[in-house]
């Protein structure tokens, strides 16, 4: 949907308010990511272009959807493999990769794919980081993604998401989870430069080590 800078600013402001009011409004979170990612998305695209695996992803444009996943095969992989743990995450948290909205407000077609790819690997970040989809888990993943991607939407979610947490969870977040997520985000190579569809058999621990993600506390 073609939009002017003013329209993008208004969409960003409105979606930010709604996303803060209800963090589970994925449509508003999506709009916020698209309308505020004008600097971060080209940077992510350049990182992909300068990496052999990331470049192949940009060229081949794989999608992570139920129509492209062989769920029976993934369920049959050994425990601890990326594919088996990813399916376990989807089942345990009752989520589907098909809920990721297609981008509407990114003018450049290649950048639109970059943000689509980011959305579709989000559940894989939960899998690699060992985080559930409750508010605590989402905040931790957002801290990691904020460091990794620089997307303002992730920064906002990381900074303001904790206001809904209890005092006990805030203590765990501040003393253990956020320091670990920040260290892992800074240490890890770019999460968009992994062709996850060709890594289903790889053990999660092996992929964490390859990327530079420290074991979850």
Does 217 reside within a domain?
no
Model confidence pLDDT, tens digit, residues 66-86 = 999 999 999 999 999 999 999
Mean pLDDT of all residues in 80-104: 92
Q: Total domain count for the chain?
A: 1
Does 158 reside within a domain?
yes
- How far is Cα 152 from Cα 53, in angstroms, rounded to an integer? 25
The pLDDT score that the predictor gives to residue 14 is 66
Does 26 reside within a domain?
yes
Nearest by Cα to 187 from 205, 209, 172, 216: 209
pLDDT at 102 over 80: yes
Does 140 reside within a domain?
yes
The pLDDT score that the predictor gives to residue 88 is 97
Does 78 reside within a domain?
yes
Does 147 reside within a domain?
yes
pLDDT at 64 over 70: yes
- How far is Cα 178 from Cα 21, in angstroms, rounded to an integer? 23
Domain range enclosing 73 = 5-211
Comparison of pLDDT for 161 and 192, the residue scoring more: 192
Comparison of pLDDT for 42 and 11, the residue scoring more: 42
Taking residue 166's Cβ as centre, other Cβ atoms within 10 Å add up to 10
pLDDT at 34 over 80: no
The mean pLDDT of the chain is 88
Does 216 reside within a domain?
no
> What does the radius of gyration of the chain's CA atoms come to, in whole angstroms?
17
Does 100 reside within a domain?
yes
CA neighbours closer than 13 Å in the CB half-sphere of residue 154 = 22
pLDDT at 21 over 60: no
pLDDT at 54 over 80: yes
Confidence at 20, pLDDT banded by 50, 70, 90? low
- How far is Cα 47 from Cα 54, in angstroms, rounded to an integer? 8
């Amino acid at each position: 949907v073609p939009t002017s800078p003013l329209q993008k600013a208004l969409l960003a402001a409105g979606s930010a308010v709604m996303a803060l009011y209800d963090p589970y409004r994925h449509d508003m979170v999506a709009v916020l990511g698209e309308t505020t990612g004008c600097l971060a998305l080209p940077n992510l695209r350049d990182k992909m272009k300068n990496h052999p695996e990331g470049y192949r992803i940009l060229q081949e444009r794989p999608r992570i959807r139920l129509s492209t996943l062989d769920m029976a095969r993934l369920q049959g992989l050994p425990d601890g493999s990326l594919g088996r743990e990813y399916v376990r995450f989807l089942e345990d948290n009752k989520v589907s990769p098909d809920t990721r909205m297609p981008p509407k407000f990114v003018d450049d077609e290649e950048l639109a794919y970059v943000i689509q790819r980011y959305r579709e690997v989000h559940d894989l970040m939960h899998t690699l980081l060992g985080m559930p989809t409750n508010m605590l888990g989402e905040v931790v993943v957002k801290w990691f993604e904020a460091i990794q991607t620089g997307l303002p939407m992730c920064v906002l979610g990381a900074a303001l998401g904790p206001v809904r947490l209890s005092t006990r969870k805030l203590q765990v977040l501040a003393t253990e989870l956020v320091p670990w997520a920040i260290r892992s985000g800074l240490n890890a190579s770019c999460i968009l430069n992994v062709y996850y569809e060709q890594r289903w058999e790889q053990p999660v621990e092996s992929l964490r080590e390859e990327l530079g993600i420290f074991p979850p506390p």
